[in-house]
Amino acid sequence: MEKMRMTSIVFVIGLVLFVSGIGFAEETNKVDVEVTLDYVTQYIWRGQQLNPDPSFQPGVNLGFGNFTAMFWAGSLRLTGSDGEEYGFVEVDLGLDYSDKFPDCKKISYSVGFFHYDFPNSPVPDTVEIYGGLSFDAPLNPSLICYLDVDEADGLYLQFSLNHGFGEILRICNTPIGMEIGAGLGWGSDSYNKYYWGVSQSSLSDFSLSASFPFEICDWTISPGVNFSTVVGEGLRDSNAYGDNDNLFGIISISKKF
């Protein structure tokens, strides 16, 4: 019951912020729409191999002022291996507010929440709220704290670095860029207990990514490759999600309207 009340409070706050953002957007007559279409050879999330087969992951982001409403209609299972049926295995809704600190323009902050829904699965829905900082510095470091206020009732921290190299080559007069990133995650004891069955706080996962974005007819296409590994010894030994080390490809397509 307490978790249900907390979930309800999160949604009420989110609804108030969303309506406030819509009002702001109407006043400024400015609503940004972004469509994303991703294909991944595996679905890996925070080191967890949630689907070893290819998935299609579409999404829509609505931006109004400093607010962004996110609808992620994924992950759509594209194969029926291991007796699993085709269909969506996850649908996420989120709301984000991001801005820079007034007295320090080199530091940005973000706050918001996600609601995770798992249709066609016995896994219960859950809700996370989060807050994060990013720094306008070499390698653009950022730190985000996710707090599950529903099922997991625990913390997940993610530290990341990323850098863009601009144009690295040109093919048929089309400039190709390069973006690289690295991330390190940590889970609290309750978080790891829920997701991994391990009652101890520890480092969770480490990831590396590289993508090569280019534009065609106002669409941004970013083929890339990601590597993810589980670094917590207890988590690796749990064998909760199949392979602990995964190399997988991604093709991301997006357009802003």
pLDDT of residue 11 exceeding 60, the answer is no
| pLDDT tens per residue, range 151-203 | 999 999 999 999 999 999 999 999 999 999 999 999 999 999 999 999 999 99
**Which of 172, 159, 251, 183 shows the shortest CA–CA distance to 212?**
251
When the candidates are 2.120.10.70, 1.20.1250.20, 2.40.160.40, 2.60.40.60, the CATH number that belongs to 2-256 is 2.40.160.40
| 157 vs 131: CA distance, rounded Å | 10
Work out the end-to-end distance of the chain between its first and last CA atoms, rounded to an integer number of angstroms: 42
- The pLDDT-based confidence of 4 (bands split at 50, 70, 90) is very low
Q: In this structure, what token pair is assigned to residue 167?
A: 């144009």
The one-character DSSP state at 124 is P
Which pTM does this prediction carry? 0.87
Chain mean pLDDT for the chain: 88
pLDDT of residue 140 exceeding 90, the answer is yes
| pLDDT tens per residue, range 172-185 | 999 999 999 999 99
Beta strands in the chain (DSSP E): 32-40, 43-45, 48-51, 55-64, 67-72, 76-77, 87-88, 91-101, 104-117, 126-135, 142-148, 155-171, 174-187, 202-211, 214-216, 219-230, 245-256
| 57 vs 88: CA distance, rounded Å | 9
| pLDDT tens per residue, range 68-99 | 999 997 777 776 555 555 677 889 999 999 99
Q: Please report the pLDDT score of residue 51 as a whole number.
A: 87
Q: Please report the pLDDT score of residue 121 as a whole number.
A: 75
Higher pLDDT, 79 or 234: 234
